[in-house]
């Protein structure tokens, strides 16, 4: 496909510049045209006389000599035809006579298939036709000079042989051979003179580059440039008309389901885009056809052929992508899909589809081909991420962290003293932790031990006293309004103490006081034991003093 587009660009440039270069051969007056015509005509007359002499010789020649004479006659006829062509070319000046030559060829299907592309090739050839002709004439003149030098040397060598010959038949044969070489030298000289005349004529027809460019530019504007402008206008007219019709067809019906409407909208949209592109291409080709510009018509057909070849290799992929665009594939809009280990909502399916997680900052933009291998499912009321910005989470190691930022790449966390840390979003999604903020309330549990000497009041007085003391202590704090309940129960008879379970239930708004609440519970229990003269076992006291 790369080679195809390069050829297409060359063809388009040729279509634009060929008019300018076609005007480059501006005829200029030649003062010596008559002299040139006289030279060619004299050579032509000599060749005509030579042909007449050959014909006379053939009539009286021996049968063995007729074949050689006929070969010379054919060569002479070819030279006469070339001289007449040269004479005519000099007479008409810079007019290209090649455009009047026609050849009849047998039918060849390959030739017929490439006939449409021939204008492009001809225009490409025309850009370098004149330099190629000049170079060919220069090469011919150089070759003729070498041949003339060799012929003159041969004549001199034969003259030396004649001078030294002492046999009359040998001298006669050498004289005939000398005559033949002299005629060949004269023929080469005549051919060189004609080539010089042609070269001089071509070099004088260059004209002014500015005038050539100006003339070519005006020719392009009034000719092929106007054709291109009309083709663009026709394509734009079709596009605007299709756009208007599309808007009318996409008017949403009342009460129609959004999903049904969206599918119908895409079906109409992409169907009309395809139909519009096809109609625009037809309009352009019709303009080229009506204007009779075979070159631009060939370029258009070349472009259409390249598009068809491209579709032939990618039609399967296009069908799959069309199903996705119509929201009929394995991944659909408003459904849940996992990408790079994170759940996302498919918010838009297009040439560049958009995935978004409602809890994360930023979006993921993917090309349509990357969506081919994905499978989505309805999301329902599922949670999109285990934490939101501003949530407090309790890690398995007992750290309380605040979520301060979430993106599709990183989650930034901060502890209660302001230290920040970042975790890859996919790793954070797979972590195990408690999200304290997500619930309406949370509970803080603590264990406190009292000595066995107070066993008689362990089920009634002690739990009640601890519960009242803890509740009173919490009521004096700045988060008292968030206290929901306080419960104290005998948990178990431990190895050295009677252990009590203290549970404080708070609303989630007091999460920042999580550790402070636990400290207040322990401090209040100790103060209550001191006030009531309750014994605190040594191991328990040692633990709380660490």
In terms of residues, how long is the chain? 546
The number of C-alpha atoms within 13 Å of 106 and in the hemisphere containing its C-beta is 0
- Does residue 48 sit in the same domain as residue 181? yes
- Does residue 148 sit in the same domain as residue 231? no
- Does residue 267 sit in the same domain as residue 221? yes
With tokens 């990357």, the residue in question is 370
Q: Label residue 507 exposed, middle or buried (CB < 10 Å: 0-12, 13-18, 19+).
A: middle
Angle between helices 168-204 and 129-164 (to 10 degrees): 160
Q: What is the pLDDT of residue 249?
A: 65
> 179: which residues sit within 8 A by CB, 6+ positions away?
none
DSSP assignment letter at 98: G
**Number of independent structural domains in the chain:** 4
- Does residue 154 sit in the same domain as residue 239? no
SS (H, E, C) 423-490: EEHHHHHCCCCEECCCCCEEEEEEEEEECHHHHHHCCCHHHHHHHHHHHHHHHCCCCHHHEEEEEEEE
Say how far apart CA 257 and CA 260 lie, in whole Å: 5
Query: What tokens does 262 get?
Result: 């969206």
Q: What is the pLDDT of residue 528?
A: 93
Each residue's pLDDT tens digit, 285-316: 888 888 877 777 777 777 777 777 777 666 66
- Report residues of the chain scoring pLDDT below 70: 1-33, 92-129, 203-217, 219-220, 249-268, 312-317, 539-546
Distance from the first to the final alpha carbon of the chain: 78
- Does residue 308 sit in the same domain as residue 408? no
- Does residue 397 sit in the same domain as residue 265? no
Q: Label residue 376 exposed, middle or buried (CB < 10 Å: 0-12, 13-18, 19+).
A: buried
- Does residue 180 sit in the same domain as residue 196? yes
Residue 401's beta-bridge partner residues?
Answer: 393, 415
Query: What tokens does 312 get?
Result: 């032939």
Q: What is the DSSP string of 223-257?
A: THHHHHHHHHHHHHHHHHHHHHHHHHHTPPPTT--
With tokens 């402070």, the residue in question is 516
Mean pLDDT, rounded, of the chain: 79
* Residue 420 domain boundaries: 392-435
Residue 387, phi-psi category: left (phi > 0), alpha (psi -120 to 50), beta (remainder): beta
The last residue of one of the domains, among 215, 250, 265, is: 215
In a domain, 471, yes or no: yes
Residue 490's beta-bridge partner residues?
Answer: 500
Q: What is the pLDDT of residue 3?
A: 43
The distance between the two most distant Cα atoms of the chain, rounded to a whole number of Å, is 168
Say how far apart CA 15 and CA 12 lie, in whole Å: 5
- Does residue 203 sit in the same domain as residue 65? yes
DSSP assignment letter at 195: H
Nearest 10 degrees: Cα torsion 171, 174, 176, 181:
-150
In a domain, 342, yes or no: no
Say how far apart CA 536 and CA 498 lie, in whole Å: 9
Q: How far is CA 66 from the centre of its chain?
A: 71
- Does residue 221 sit in the same domain as residue 283? yes
Each residue's pLDDT tens digit, 118-139: 655 666 566 566 777 778 888 8
Say how far apart CA 159 and CA 175 lie, in whole Å: 8
Say how far apart CA 134 and CA 200 lie, in whole Å: 9
The number of C-alpha atoms within 13 Å of 445 and in the hemisphere containing its C-beta is 6
Each residue's pLDDT tens digit, 185-234: 888 888 888 888 877 877 665 555 556 556 666 766 777 778 888 888 98
The last residue of one of the domains, among 300, 325, 350, is: 325
Q: What is the pLDDT of residue 102?
A: 53
Say how far apart CA 159 and CA 165 lie, in whole Å: 10
CATH number of the domain where residue 449 is located = 3.30.70.100
The last residue of one of the domains, among 173, 193, 215, is: 215
Q: Label residue 220 exposed, middle or buried (CB < 10 Å: 0-12, 13-18, 19+).
A: buried
Say how far apart CA 421 and CA 415 lie, in whole Å: 9
Say how far apart CA 515 and CA 400 lie, in whole Å: 9
- Does residue 7 sit in the same domain as residue 134? yes
Residue 338's beta-bridge partner residues?
Answer: 343
């Amino acid at each position: 496909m790369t080679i195809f587009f390069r050829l297409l660009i060359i063809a388009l440039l040729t279509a634009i510049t060929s008019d300018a270069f076609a005007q480059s051969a501006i005829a200029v007056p030649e003062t010596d045209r008559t002299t040139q015509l006289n030279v060619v005509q004299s050579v032509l007359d000599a060749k005509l006389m030579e042909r007449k002499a050959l014909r006379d010789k053939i009539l009286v020649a021996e049968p063995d000599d007729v074949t050689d004479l006929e070969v010379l006659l054919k060569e002479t006829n070819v030279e006469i035809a070339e001289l007449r062509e040269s004479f005519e070319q000099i007479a008409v000046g810079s007019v290209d006579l090649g455009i009047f030559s026609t050849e009849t060829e047998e039918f060849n299907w390959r030739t017929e298939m490439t006939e449409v592309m021939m204008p492009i090739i001809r225009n490409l050839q025309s850009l370098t036709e004149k330099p190629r002709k000049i170079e060919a004439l220069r090469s011919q003149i150089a070759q003729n000079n070498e041949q003339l030098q060799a012929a003159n040397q041969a004549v001199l060598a034969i003259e030396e042989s004649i001078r030294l010959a002492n046999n009359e038949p040998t001298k006669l044969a050498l004289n005939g051979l000398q005559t033949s070489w002299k005629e060949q030298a004269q023929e080469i000289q005549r051919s060189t003179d004609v080539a010089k005349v042609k070269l001089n004529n071509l070099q004088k027809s260059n004209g002014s580059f500015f005038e050539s460019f100006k003339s070519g530019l005006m020719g392009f504007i009034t000719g092929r440039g106007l054709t291109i402008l009309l083709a663009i206008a026709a394509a734009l007219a079709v596009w605007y008309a299709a756009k208007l019709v599309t808007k009318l067809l996409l008017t949403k019906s009342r009460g129609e389901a959004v999903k049904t409407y969206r599918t119908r909208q895409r079906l109409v949209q992409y169907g009309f885009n395809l139909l519009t592109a096809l109609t625009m291409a037809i309009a352009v080709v019709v303009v080229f056809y009506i204007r009779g510009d075979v070159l631009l018509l060939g370029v258009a057909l070349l472009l259409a052929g390249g598009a068809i070849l491209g579709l032939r290799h990618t039609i399967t992929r296009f069908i799959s992508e069309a199903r996705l665009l119509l929201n009929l594939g394995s991944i659909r809009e408003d459904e849940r899909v996992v990408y790079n280990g994170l759940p996302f909502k498919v918010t838009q399916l297009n040439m560049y589809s958009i995935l978004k997680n409602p809890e994360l900052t930023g979006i993921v933009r993917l090309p349509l081909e990357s969506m081919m291998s994905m499978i989505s499912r309805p999301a329902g009321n599922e949670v999109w991420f285990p934490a939101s910005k501003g949530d407090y989470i309790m890690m398995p190691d007992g750290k309380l962290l605040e979520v301060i930022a979430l993106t599709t790449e990183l989650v930034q966390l901060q502890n209660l003293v302001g230290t920040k840390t970042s975790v890859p979003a996919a790793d954070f999604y797979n972590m195990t932790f408690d999200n304290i903020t997500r619930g309406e309330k949370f509970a803080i549990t603590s264990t406190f031990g009292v000595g066995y000497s107070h066993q008689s009041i362990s089920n009634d007085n002690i739990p009640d006293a601890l519960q009242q003391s803890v509740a009173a202590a919490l009521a004096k704090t700045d988060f008292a309004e968030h206290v929901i309940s306080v419960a104290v129960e005998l948990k178990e008879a431990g190895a050295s103490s009677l252990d009590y379970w203290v549970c404080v239930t708070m609303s989630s708004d007091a999460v920042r006081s999580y550790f402070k609440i636990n400290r207040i519970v322990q401090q209040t229990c100790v103060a209550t034991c001191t006030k009531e003269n309750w014994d605190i076992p040594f191991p328990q006291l040692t633990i709380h003093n660490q």
